[in-house]
Amino acid sequence: MQVKYYDLENKNVFVSGGGSGIGASIVEHFCEQGSNVFFVDIDLSESEKLIKTITEKKFKKPNFIECDLLDIKKLNSIISKIIDDNGPIDILINNAANDQRHTTDDVDEKYWDNRMGINLKHFFFTIKAVKDGMIKKGSGSIVNLGSVSWMLGEGDKVAYETAKSAVVGLTRSFAKELGKHNIRANSVVPGSIATERQIKHWLTPEYKKWLLDKQCLKRQLKPSDVSSLVLYLASDVSSGCTKQNFIVDAGIT
């Protein structure tokens, strides 16, 4: 542990897509802080593997609920039960996404709606589900995960990039709407992060060389580079920060 945020201990934290990649790092970091972590994911195997890892490290064990985030009714039901059993969600981390590459010709109406559902729609509905508890408590921190891909205009996943650009507007709108209740909303915008998925599918030696040439910092970013910032924004240490987009891309934009 590099930093101990004492105010995060025993806080109720909800993370979407927490089973692998950046989400898994976020879950692990909150568990290390002693938070009460609840996370949803569609991948049962990866989620169970994460819980085993966290348990072996003797961090606080997270609570996993299997959920397809396209099923908003089920998602709402899960969040309602968590709140009924444990009290309001103090910290909401909207992380789940799918950055599968595609061309314009690959996209039909069904695919478009699917990408919006995975990469944007659940962000809105999780916020809607937790906000009343945060309002009643008079505090809360919401962190939405974006992507620098739309800033770069990479052109190999237009539906994904469209959804991720919308995260900026969603974050700023909720920051304004909920700010009077002392609820903060910020977005964290990662660049190329060396998750297992990225390494397996796209982080070729050629692409890595291109990245390092473009980045100001000449190293590959890791999931912990993102989760460390998420912790800061979740903590009251950042109590003056809201309506902002915090970029973690080693200076590529």
Active site (catalytic) residues: 160
If one counts every other C-beta atom within 10 angstroms of the C-beta of residue 13, the result is 25
Number of continuous H segments (helices) and E segments (strands) in the chain:
10, 7
> What would the two tokens of residue 173 be?
């709108």
If one counts every other C-beta atom within 10 angstroms of the C-beta of residue 63, the result is 14
The DSSP code sequence of 176-212 is: HHHGGGTEEEEEEEE--B--HHHHHHT--HHHHHHHH
State the burial class of residue 243 (Cβ atoms within 10 Å of its Cβ: 0-12, 13-18, 19+). Answer: middle
Evaluate the CA torsion angle 250, 37, 93, 236 in order and state its sign: negative
End-to-end Cα distance, the chain: 29
Write the CB contacts of 86 (distance below 8 Å, at least 6 apart in sequence). Answer: 12, 36, 38
- Residue 125's identity, in one-letter code, is F
The DSSP code sequence of 86-124 is: H---SEEEE---------GGG--HHHHHHHHIIIIIHHH
Backbone angles phi, psi at 189, to 5 degrees: -120, 95
